[in-house]
A and B are shown apart, each in its own frame.
Chain A
């Protein structure tokens, strides 16, 4: 029997009828139409499906949509503000923190939570924070750099998740 789910995704309130077995990730992709959240495994390993649920980084393949009733959800599509990239999005771009880009939304969402908890993480804290996400392309080197860079820019900008986006990007584009 279908269950009613009321929640907010990226600031937009929704109300839908879903089968209880509908996974949150399928709800996000297929009901809400937000396809930036990806699926990479069946067993909660890869983290490609990571979104924020009430501020926590959650693997949306390991939650039912009905469990998110009443929750506030942020997906990768909800990070940029007024056309300005979130500092993490900008840093992943600047530091070449992605290649195929499939795992990237999950990494960025997990990093958002990591930096919310630990604004200036050590490399080990970054590793521990992101070990729930698999990347097959980068060897993680530039993901580590990207999180460091975002942390630095966000700290310099006073911790707000805006600003800092433009910093360094122009230079990074041309520095040979």
Chain B
């Protein structure tokens, strides 16, 4: 299939992008790596009136540590995240996640900013962003991750608002992400992420609800000194994961517990 017709503009900087998005209205969309948007457009499930291509905007593909924050430009691609020595040192869990996004070709094109803006609860980075209290820095200001993933594909981003960068806390302690799926190139059926940070555990779950989820009851249990196996039993507390072709809601809840336990045990090992 071919997408419906649209106007195309290539922005030279984010001011221009924001201005154009404002002029073109809410039917215009931002194009970066295109790996969420173009397949939807090919199926004509998305028919934006215009695309503002920010792919050439300079300065958005940087990775740097700034104090205790890891700052990653919105246009940094999965492959670059996976390879980056800076990321591997400052937040190895992010590099490991990036190495398991999609496939080689997808990792060459897809961007961190694109995944965050798309706000698909099956995406991996939103889980990490939420559990580690990342900040999503945009042309209009900054959103804490806990306020950003509002619902399925829903964020507070305004039509003319563009993500500049995402900042994560530096965290190089024990960590693990287990991404459970039928085919290695697929989205997670359930993903369980664990990161030890400031002495405590942060636990995140992918594809267990309309947004990324934090397993707070299990986090609390660990903080109270319960064993990993005991705490993991509470990983599905409060979750109502979706049922779809891949898995029932019950099975996802079960996986949330099993994978959280395994991730904790493997991280600690």
Touch test A–B (CB under 8 Å):
yes
The count of residues in chain B whose C-beta lies closer than 8 Å to any C-beta of chain A is 31
B34 in the interface (beta carbon within 8 A): yes
Binds B, one of A76-84, A129-137, A145-153: A129-137
A23 in the interface (beta carbon within 8 A): yes
B98 in the interface (beta carbon within 8 A): no
Q: A58 contacts which chain B residues (CB < 8 A)?
A: 105, 108-109
Interface residues of A in 56-91 (CB under 8 A from B): 56-59, 61-64, 66-67, 69
B4, A21: Cβ atoms closer than 8 Å: yes
Interface range for A: 35 or more
Interface residues of A in 26-72 (CB under 8 A from B): 26, 42-45, 47, 50, 56-59, 61-64, 66-67, 69
Binds A, one of B5-13, B68-76, B220-228: B5-13
Binds A, one of B38-46, B230-238, B250-258: B38-46
Contact count A vs B, C-beta below 8 Å: 93
A132, B34: Cβ atoms closer than 8 Å: no
B163 to chain A, nearest CB (A): 19
Q: Say whether, besides A42-B39, A64-B38, A132-B185, A114 and B104 are in contact (CB < 8 Å).
A: yes
Q: Say whether, besides A62-B38, A132-B102, A132-B185, A67 and B55 are in contact (CB < 8 Å).
A: yes
B104, A42: Cβ atoms closer than 8 Å: no
Cβ-closest chain A residue relative to B107: A132
A169 to chain B, nearest CB (A): 28
B123 to chain A, nearest CB (A): 15
Cβ-closest chain B residue relative to A54: B108
Query: Can you report 29 A-B residue pairs in the complex whose CB atoms are below 8 A from each other?
Result: A19-B5, A20-B7, A20-B8, A21-B2, A21-B3, A21-B4, A21-B41, A23-B2, A23-B42, A26-B2, A42-B1, A42-B42, A42-B43, A44-B102, A44-B105, A44-B106, A56-B108, A56-B109, A58-B105, A59-B106, A59-B109, A61-B42, A62-B34, A62-B35, A64-B8, A110-B105, A132-B103, A132-B106, A133-B103
Binding site for B on A (CB under 8 A): 1, 3, 19-23, 26, 42-45, 47, 50, 56-59, 61-64, 66-67, 69, 110, 113-114, 127-133
